[in-house]
Structure 1
Amino acid sequence: MKMQDKVALVTGVGPGLGKAIAVTLAREGASVVICDIDEGALADAQQAIEAAGGACLAVRCDVSSSDEVSNMFAAAVARFGTVHALVNNAALVPNRPIDTERRNRFYAYMQTPVARDTLAFTSEISDAEWMRYWGVNVHGVFFCTREALRLMQPQRYGRIVNIASVAGTSAKSAHSPHYSATKGAVIAFSRSVAMEVAGANIFVNVMAPGGVATPDFNAYLDGIGDAGKNRLWQGCPSGRFGTPEEYASTVLHLASDEHYLVGQVVSPNGGSVI
């Protein structure tokens, strides 16, 4: 029970990684505060956490709003007294039809012998699209981290795990430069904060996963057929994406007391970035 008597707050608990993280922490003894903007996904995650034996507070929260984040932390304190561990998982990911088209164009370009030319991704991104990603993926991480530190610093204890991506450490997601930029920013922010607060026994680290076998990505794989999947696996030596539960086990370790990691980027990715 690595999280016994701890309170963990997990953002973005929709189907896939966030829900798996929250359930894993609950199974290890944590009381869990969860948030999402999708109320159906929020209710589903709460049910799964309670079925795993965990106490749960579910809050609808848009992490890009500092007011909503402040209200969520106030609710967490009212219910459980404090927050010991924060997992900043909420993020926009490139999964709209235009993102799928860009991804397919990028993979085809990288895997077939065609003449080199620009792929024209960055020049197609609008101001609104760019700012939308920063609002959730970066501002949301800052707002939640700030509120968490206001609790963790006086108690001289805390664990913060920020979920980035190999997109922030490599060109693996060149098809989504706005997403890559935000995940790189999360890594830089995490390292700075880790240096700042480690002396108060608050450890800040990053998990930068490779591909996650979420329902959305599994649907994408089904759509590209065997030939498309085989081309995709050329860039991933393990020949598959990690399951949400595999990634959640890494987050559990970083959220626990069983390590001496400060400001590190841990990247389970099946060998796609070595």
Structure 2
Amino acid sequence: MGSIDGKVCVVTGAARGLGRAIAQTLAADGGRLALCDVLEPALEETAAGLRSMGADVFASPCDVSDSTAVDRFFAETAQALGPVDVLVNNAALVPGGPDDEARRNRHYAWLTTPVERGTLGFTSAMTDTEWLRFWGVNVHGVFFCTRAALRQMEPRRHGRIVNIASIAGLSAYSAHSPHYSATKGAVIAFTRSVGAEVAGANIFVNAIAPGGVATPMFDDYLARLDPEARNRMFQFVPAGRLGSLEEYAGLVLYLAGDNHYLAGQIISPNGGMF
């Protein structure tokens, strides 16, 4: 039996990437899964794959930035599987568009090339829409899901919540994306506050703040870089590589279990970057 055998585990943003890897790891340890995402076909594909492994899975589309949709999803989860034992707040917007990539490339070149210093002009050019969109998913979504989970955990005086933050909330390595960095910093502060609030009820809230994650999306970005630019980027990482999905998911599994005394902690697996 695994450390979470039989426990009801909610994973948001579970359709692909790190969310899918986390769901697979929890399922392999015996977790009963409730999965949500806005990417419906990919979510169904993930759920079908887990069911073929023998996992008990409830999956439903949900936009975590919509509090009504979140409350409905948690009510449906309780009806389908029982009250929530574990919540993994993984759903997030990540800067991945053409403008984001251009800013990232400029920033990495600025950090690794001896050029005259000056402003990079990222924040002054950002629109209201771009800023607010990230806060809706990355911060409000974490709050809405945490609130819904605590309403099921607090009466039973037991639960585990794992928030997926980022090294961007701890360091300046993601200065190319001030909106993303700000939201992940907010998740870190929220984790510390709620972690202290509910620890006395045996509900442990922690966060991991990953460095680079070897997702298909990031692999595609690396493939578009020329060898010199790719080597410049890896100068930031003493380990010389990105963290694998399995490495990050394994840490989530540990924090989701009962065999630790961690509350309100921020753990940053980042290959020595920070």
Q: TM-score, normalised by structure 1?
A: 0.98
Matching residue's letter, 1:175: H
- Aligned: 1:148 with 2:149: yes
Cα deviation digits, residues 177-207 of structure 1 (max 9, x gap): 0000000000001110011100000000001
Stretches of 4+ aligned residues off by more than 4 angstroms: none
Cα deviation digits, residues 151-202 of structure 1 (max 9, x gap): 0000110000000000000001000000000000000011100111000000
Could you tell me how far 1:22 is from its partner in structure 2? 0.6
Q: Spell out the pairing of 1:5-44 with structure 2 (5 A cutoff).
A: 5-44=6-45
- In the other structure, the counterpart of 2:60 is 59
Q: Is the 1:13–1:36 contact (alpha carbons within 8 Å) kept by the matching residues of 2?
A: yes
Instruction: Return the alpha-carbon distance in structure 1 between the equivalents of residues 181 and 165 of structure 2.
Output: 9
Instruction: Return the alpha-carbon distance in structure 2 between the equivalents of residues 270 and 155 of structure 1.
Output: 38
Q: Spell out the pairing of 1:1-274 with structure 2 (5 A cutoff).
A: 1-273=2-274
Could you tell me how far 1:33 is from its partner in structure 2? 0.3
Unaligned runs of 5+ in 1: none
Helix, strand or coil for the counterpart of 1:72? helix
Could you tell me how far 1:13 is from its partner in structure 2? 1.2
Matching residue's letter, 1:214: T
Percent of residue pairs identical: 59
Instruction: Return the alpha-carbon distance in structure 1 between the equivalents of residues 176 and 226 of structure 2.
Output: 20
Q: Is the 1:15–1:215 contact (alpha carbons within 8 Å) kept by the matching residues of 2?
A: no
Matching residue's letter, 2:39: D
Instruction: Return the alpha-carbon distance in structure 1 between the equivalents of residues 50 and 226 of structure 2.
Output: 34
Helix, strand or coil for the counterpart of 2:264? coil
Cα deviation digits, residues 68-115 of structure 1 (max 9, x gap): 000000110110111000000000000000000000000010010000
Matching residue's letter, 2:272: G
CA pair 7-125 structure 1, distance change in 2 beyond 3 A:
same
Cα deviation digits, residues 232-264 of structure 1 (max 9, x gap): 110001111111111000000000111110100
Cα deviation digits, residues 31-79 of structure 1 (max 9, x gap): 0000000011101210222233211011100000000000000110110
Helix, strand or coil for the counterpart of 1:269? coil
Instruction: Return the alpha-carbon distance in structure 1 between the equivalents of residues 15 and 212 of structure 2.
Output: 16
Q: Is the 1:32–1:55 contact (alpha carbons within 8 Å) kept by the matching residues of 2?
A: yes
Matching residue's letter, 2:30: G
Could you tell me how far 1:132 is from its partner in structure 2? 0.2
Moved more, 13-22 or 28-37: 13-22
**Count of residues in Structure 1 that have an aligned counterpart in Structure 2:** 273
RMSD across aligned positions (CA):
0.7
Helix, strand or coil for the counterpart of 2:162? strand
